[in-house]
Structure 1
Amino acid sequence: MYYVGIDVSKRSVDVCLLTDGIKGKRKTKSLPNGLNSAQALAQWLTVQKRDPSQAHIILEATGIYHEHLAYGLHQAGILVSVINPHRVREFAKGMGIFTKTDRVDAYVLASYGCLKQPESWTPPAQEIRKLKALLQHRDSLLSDKQRTGNRLDTLKSTAAPKEVVESLDSIELNLKEELARIERLIAEHIDKHPGLKNDLKLLKSIDGVGEQIGWNMLTIIRGNNFKRAEQVAAYLGVIPVECRSGTSVRGRAKLSKIGPSAIRAKLYMGAITALRHNSHVKAHYERLLLKGKAKMLAVGAAMRKLVHLCYGVLHTQQPYDKNYGMVAG
């Protein structure tokens, strides 16, 4: 087994091959990013007299730009790991590497693979991939609609030409109609797949989880190889990070806020709702307040509790029991 780190950008992938561990020689190459990037990488490794089937490839999760390469490598039977970028940056700091270039990042990724031995990446099922794409498109449309609405509100309070206002009115209407159509497609897609339909029903059995959180948690939990609820919480950035050093530094703990911020925003609203309607979330929140914890830290804990409940119902395939573990007063 040998290790290859790859820094992925929109148009290219920078490759670093470790020939003999992190202290050995490195070979580097820049290849185009696209449909054939996995094939091009395998050919280059063969030229280097390396068997592609013995490679362990390490990539960062870079939005969508890594997908052609990751899916191509998996289909070719080549071991690939997709790593959280924050973990890689912390690893680089630990190695004393603060420079950030494509070649350096590729070397750091190869070293991470060599020393950490990360788990292999398995692509999510096709129905999850489609659901994720539909949800991302929905969020983009919603953002466009809100931005257009804000422009309209501003212009209507000024002496703007009516043609401009009418144009924005038309755009807002079209966005509203398209948003409704995409939401119907999301519902129909879930309805066509019994597994997704059942999982969404389980998620929505949790007080505080509606369609928005249900849809997104479904893609996150079913689209990743999480083995514990804590891993989901860490991925979403709702775990506490303490600031302590020696006897003098005692900073307040705060959420790590690593991962998708848009989903954290949805979880925040869900937690606020759950504080009124979910006995487990409310009890956890109030216990922390009684211990003197800051209100926002307690809200963060409520978000984390909601994530744990979502993982729990999908893991056990049992609906949420609002009375589980609650002591009658």
Structure 2
Amino acid sequence: MEIVVGIDVSKDRLDVHVLPSGEAFSVGNDHAGMEDLARRLAAFSPTAIGLEATGGYEQLAVATLASAGLSVVVVNPAQVRAFANALGKRAKTDPIDAAVIAAFIAATKPELRPLRDAETRTLADLVTRRRQIVQMIVAEENRARTVNARQAQKSIKRLLAALRRELESLDADLDDHIRKSPLWRVREKLLSSVPGIGPTVARTMIAEMPELGSLGRRQIAALAGLAPWTRQSGRWRGKSFIGGGRSRVRAVLFMAALVAIRHNPVLKAFRDRLVEVGKPKIVAVVAVMRKLLTILNAIIRDQKPWQTA
């Protein structure tokens, strides 16, 4: 008999539901609570433990359970909510959500992928922090264009100077982190060989998509949320759309696709052909993102840099 566990994560606590027994309990979202959680769940020997992605609150639980040798999967909250709606469960409380997550895992049996190791998680944290600093710099630069008071302008300049120093420091930390791993150095060089892929994109792909090179093109596209979803019923066909997956990967691929359309002759020609046959420009850009991801996946798989011929 398979035992499945659903965990609803909040800032301060975790609500747990075990199937098929229906046992439920909660623990604190802190180190003491994690030790208690790992001990209690190990006694069940669960087939799978599911948690929703909650913007980082789930990371301590995921790391603790994985290090205890338990099978953990992080699921998309939107998919769980759609599953709950299909079951007619309109009520929403933390214990109910934990039960819904457990039922979702039991019904869909999502693939259990190896979790990123500590070094890769550290790299991902550095990449994320760099992105946050860049966003703050852009926000302050935009404020500088609209503020007239001299004192406010001075404040913005001081903050921008501090943010730019922090950005330089983070870039140095990222360089050091990449240099520690011969595998990462090789991967960064391979990925950066593609016109349109710079160090930031390459490092984000290494940190956020460690499966690169080990999956097929359809699987890697689905993992990034770039596989089109088709809506069809009888003769009616709705527009296809993308979603889910890893939003950070999609964000950097979008910027990389815009650069590649200008500087990568192969991808520029691919985009131009789509536009010529009537595809909307944004649809063409998404297609370039998907093709670019497929190229990066093949480059890591084959360990061969970009070749124009």
2:196 matched to 1:208?
yes
| 8 Å contact from structure 1 (residues 217, 310) kept in 2 | no
Q: Describe the superposition over 1:203-241 as per-residue Cα deviations: whole angstroms up to 9, x where unpaired.
A: 011122111211111112216896233333223332223
Q: Describe the superposition over 1:106-150 as per-residue Cα deviations: whole angstroms up to 9, x where unpaired.
A: 112111222222333422122211111111111111111222222
For residue 252 of structure 1, give the secondary structure of its aligned residue in structure 2: coil
2:174 matched to 1:181?
no
* Counterpart position of 1:282: 268
Shift of 1:98: 3.7
Equivalence map 1:1-329=2 (5 Å): 1-20=2-21, 26-45=22-41, 51-54=43-46, 56-156=48-148, 160=149, 162-222=150-210, 227-247=215-235, 249-254=236-241, 256-323=242-309
**Seq. identity, %:** 34
| 8 Å contact from structure 1 (residues 125, 223) kept in 2 | no
For these two proteins, the number of residue pairs brought into alignment is: 308
Q: Distance in 2 between matches of 1:87 and 1:226?
A: 25
Q: Distance in 2 between matches of 1:164 and 1:223?
A: 46
* Counterpart position of 1:23: none
Q: Describe the superposition over 1:134-186 as per-residue Cα deviations: whole angstroms up to 9, x where unpaired.
A: 11111111111222222222113xxx2x3332222111111111111111211
For residue 36 of structure 1, give the secondary structure of its aligned residue in structure 2: helix
Matched letter for residue 95 of structure 1: L
Q: Using structure 1 for the length normalisation, give the TM-score.
A: 0.85
| 8 Å contact from structure 2 (residues 38, 64) kept in 1 | no
Q: Distance in 2 between matches of 1:205 and 1:222?
A: 18
Q: Distance in 1 between matches of 2:57 and 2:219?
A: 24
Q: Distance in 2 between matches of 1:165 and 1:274?
A: 36
Q: Distance in 2 between matches of 1:111 and 1:193?
A: 40
| 8 Å contact from structure 1 (residues 208, 278) kept in 2 | yes
Q: Distance in 2 between matches of 1:67 and 1:27?
A: 24
Q: Using structure 2 for the length normalisation, give the TM-score.
A: 0.90
Q: Distance in 2 between matches of 1:31 and 1:152?
A: 46
Q: Distance in 2 between matches of 1:64 and 1:138?
A: 16
Q: Describe the superposition over 1:7-30 as per-residue Cα deviations: whole angstroms up to 9, x where unpaired.
A: 11111111111235xxxxx22222
For residue 145 of structure 1, give the secondary structure of its aligned residue in structure 2: helix
Q: Distance in 2 between matches of 1:311 and 1:45?
A: 36
Gaps of 5+ in 1: 21-25, 324-329
Gaps of 5+ in 2: none
Q: Distance in 2 between matches of 1:109 and 1:38?
A: 19
Q: Distance in 2 between matches of 1:69 and 1:121?
A: 16
Shift of 1:196: 0.5
Instruction: From the CA coordinates, give the structure whose radius of gyration is larger.
Output: 1
In structure 2, the CA distance between the partners of 1:44 and 1:315, relative to structure 1 (3 Å rule), is: same
* Greater alpha carbon shift after TM alignment, 274-283 vs 200-209: 274-283
Task: Give the root-mean-square deviation of aligned CA atoms.
Answer: 2.4
